[in-house]
């Protein structure tokens, strides 16, 4: 369809990116691809007609191709950096430029799938079109199919992505109705004059937030001046860490599914939360990795855990980034698994207390909205040259996202597993993300560290740490045998 044939009289639709969304866009450069992975493994045996790529593609056309759908929108920068970029309908949107179909090498197990995902995750998304792709990986064991979504972090955070997935699936099998997709006839892209006019119109509300941002900065400085025990300090951050530095262009990926009940068993017998057990097992995997190459770490490793600034239920829509991160001690220095779990529990609580104290005085959401595009790009380039010295998160980034608690279906195809990863940035080159789903605890490891050539080592270390804790938990909860007397 030619540009002059489009509906030029229709008013352009746009939505303004937040400053944090724009920050996520600006991170893309060189070996840094600020995109996330969302992976659904489908079991087509629940559909009498089996798997059909054509039917899947038809569903995407019906759900993604309509005015205002962010999946069919690209971003445009505002001239002169007057305001943040906007999402606007892409007149040249073509679904087939975003949906790819590949075959998994035999025998189609998880190692083979993860090798394919490594190649997918190392492909940067093109910024002159909507920032997502879906790779349909066929040929998995048992006739299963993987939908591997490559989604830029500028769209949303992990909690928002979980809600999007819930919106795209159902709690029971539903008929896939293949209909004629709507005609795609958006107006042309806005002119430079329109972009400037919209920016000037949208800017005053942002400028009115300057006093509150300055007040938040003053509160933040006062709060940060009070040290919190069992949490890394600014001085600790200046010490060398195993996975800091710049990213390579390659990616290493591995994932595995664990029964959620196994983590709950440990929690019930040894105390803490499921998240504490998760962090402790990550610490155990880091310890095992480092011990295999040098000596085990003599001091804790600095990690970062993700927190929500705004719960999904408080958002009018799932789009946008409303999450943050805070430092936590990852006690890879402790050999005993029970002692490690206890230390992680104390550190995680200290980090939660710190984030709760400073979250109400977080000026960054407002400051990013106020920062001109050129200034943000300059800051990000400087951070890149220092190997991520000023990146808010640090070294090992961990996230634990609650997903759907019951079985989900995409049409009549059962979603067997859901996996997800967050981002990698200069300064933290190892990401461990867990998504719970239907009684599963699904763990992904993504890395771009030059030190790591096999992400499976961390999955194996996570499994070994969890097995250790389960064995100890079983002994702790076993009934004590008592002697008796014969009658």
Residue 132 has pLDDT above 80, yes or no: yes
Answer with the residue of higher pLDDT: 69 or 132. Answer: 132
Instruction: Give the Cα separation of 394 and 409 in Å (integer).
Output: 36
- The lowest-confidence range among 24-38, 81-95, 161-175, 412-426 is 161-175
Q: Are 26 and 380 a contacting pair, CB within 8 Å?
A: yes
The set of catalytic residues is 153
Residue 249, both tokens:
């262009």
Burial of residue 461, with CB atoms counted within 10 A of its CB: 0-12 exposed, 13-18 middle, 19 or more buried:
buried
Beta bridge partners of 442: 257, 435
Predicted confidence (pLDDT) per residue in 364-401, tens digit: 666 777 777 777 778 778 777 776 666 666 789 999 98
Is the confidence at residue 146, as pLDDT, over 50?
A: yes
Lowest-confidence segment of 98-107, 133-142, 374-383, 456-465 by average pLDDT: 374-383
pLDDT of 253 reads 98
Per-residue pLDDT at 314: 80
For residue 311, the model assigns a pLDDT of 77
pLDDT at 238: 74
Query: Does 110 score more than 90 pLDDT?
Result: yes
**Which of the pair, 167 or 464, is modelled with greater confidence?**
464
pLDDT band at 8 (very low <50, low <70, confident <90, very high): very low
pLDDT of residue 237: 75
Is residue 387 packed enough to be buried (19+ CB in 10 Å), middle (13-18) or exposed (0-12)?
middle
Residue 441: the pLDDT is 98
Q: What is the pLDDT of residue 6?
A: 39
C-beta of residue 330 within 8 angstroms of C-beta of residue 279: yes
Q: Tokens for 14? A: 């746009």
Question: What's the pLDDT at 263?
Answer: 98
Domains (range + CATH), the chain = 11-181+190-198 (3.30.559.10), 231-402+426-477 (3.30.559.30)
Higher-scoring residue by pLDDT: 427, 478: 427
Burial of 211 (0-12, 13-18, 19+ CB in 10 A): exposed
| CA–CA gap between residue 126 and residue 154 (Å, rounded) | 13
**What is the C-alpha to C-alpha distance for residues 225 and 407, in angstroms, rounded to an integer?**
47
State the Cα–Cα distance between residues 111 and 67, nearest whole angstrom: 39
pLDDT of residue 269: 96
Q: How many whole angstroms separate alpha carbon 298 and alpha carbon 289?
A: 14
pLDDT confidence bin for 101, thresholds 50/70/90:
very high
Question: Residue 7 above 50 pLDDT?
Answer: no
- For residues 462 and 456, give the distance between their C-alpha atoms in angstroms, rounded to a whole number: 10
**Residue 147 pLDDT:** 97
Query: Which is more confidently placed, 327 or 479?
Result: 327
pLDDT at 9: 43
Greater model confidence, 6 or 385: 385
Q: What is the pLDDT of residue 227?
A: 66
Q: Which tops the pLDDT comparison, 367 or 344?
A: 344
């Amino acid at each position: 369809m030619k540009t002059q044939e489009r509906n030029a009289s229709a008013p352009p639709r746009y939505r303004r990116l937040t400053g944090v969304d724009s920050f996520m866009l600006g991170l893309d450069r060189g070996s840094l691809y600020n995109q996330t992975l969302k992976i659904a493994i489908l079991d087509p045996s629940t559909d009498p007609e089996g798997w059909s790529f054509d039917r899947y593609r038809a569903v995407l056309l019906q759900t993604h191709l309509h005015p205002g759908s962010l999946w069919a929108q690209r971003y445009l920068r505002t001239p002169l950096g007057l305001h943040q970029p906007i999402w606007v309908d892409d007149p040249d949107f073509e679904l087939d430029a975003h949906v790819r179909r590949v075959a998994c090498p035999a025998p189609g197990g998880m190692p083979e799938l993860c090798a394919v995902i490594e190649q997918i995750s190392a492909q940067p998304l093109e910024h002159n079109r909507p920032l997502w792709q879906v790779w349909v990986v066929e040929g998995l064991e048992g006739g299963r199919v993987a939908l591997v979504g490559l989604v830029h972090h500028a769209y949303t955070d992990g909690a928002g992505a979980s809600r999007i997935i819930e919106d795209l699936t159902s709690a029971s099998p539903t008929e896939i109705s293949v209909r004629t997709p709507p005609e795609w006839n958006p107006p042309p892209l806005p002119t430079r004059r329109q972009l400037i006019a919209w920016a000037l119109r949208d800017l005053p509300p942002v400028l009115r937030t300057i006093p509150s941002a300055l007040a938040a900065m003053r509160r933040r400085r006062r709060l940060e001046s009070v040290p919190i025990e069992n949490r890394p300090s600014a001085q600790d951050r200046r010490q060398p860490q195993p996975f800091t530095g710049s990213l390579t262009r390659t990616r290493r990926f591995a994932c595995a599914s664990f029964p959620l009940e196994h983590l709950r068993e440990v929690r019930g017998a040894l105390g803490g939360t499921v998240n504490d057990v998760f962090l402790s097992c990550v610490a155990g995997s880091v310890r095992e990795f480092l011990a295999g190459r040098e000596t085990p770490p003599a001091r804790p490793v600095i990690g970062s855990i993700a927190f929500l600034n705004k719960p999904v239920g408080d958002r009018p829509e799932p789009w946008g980034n409303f999450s943050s991160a805070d430092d936590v001690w990852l006690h890879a220095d402790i050999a005993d698994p029970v002692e490690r779990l206890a230390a992680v529990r104390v550190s995680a609580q200290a980090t939660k207390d710190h984030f709760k104290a400073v979250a109400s005085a977080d000026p960054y959401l407002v400051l990013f909205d106020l920062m001109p595009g050129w200034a943000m790009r300059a800051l990000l380039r400087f951070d890149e040259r220092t190997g991520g010295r000023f990146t808010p998160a640090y070294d090992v980034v961990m996230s634990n996202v609650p997903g759907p608690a019951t079985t989900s279906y995409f049409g009549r195809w059962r979603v067997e597993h859901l996996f997800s990863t967050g981002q990698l940035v200069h300064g933290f080159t190892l990401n461990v993300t867990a998504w719970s789903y239907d009684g599963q605890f699904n763990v992904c490891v993504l890395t771009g560290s030059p030190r790591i050539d096999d992400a499976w080592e961390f999955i194996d270390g996570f499994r070994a740490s969890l097995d250790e804790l389960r064995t100890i938990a079983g002994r702790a909860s076993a009934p004590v045998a008592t002697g008796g007397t014969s009658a």
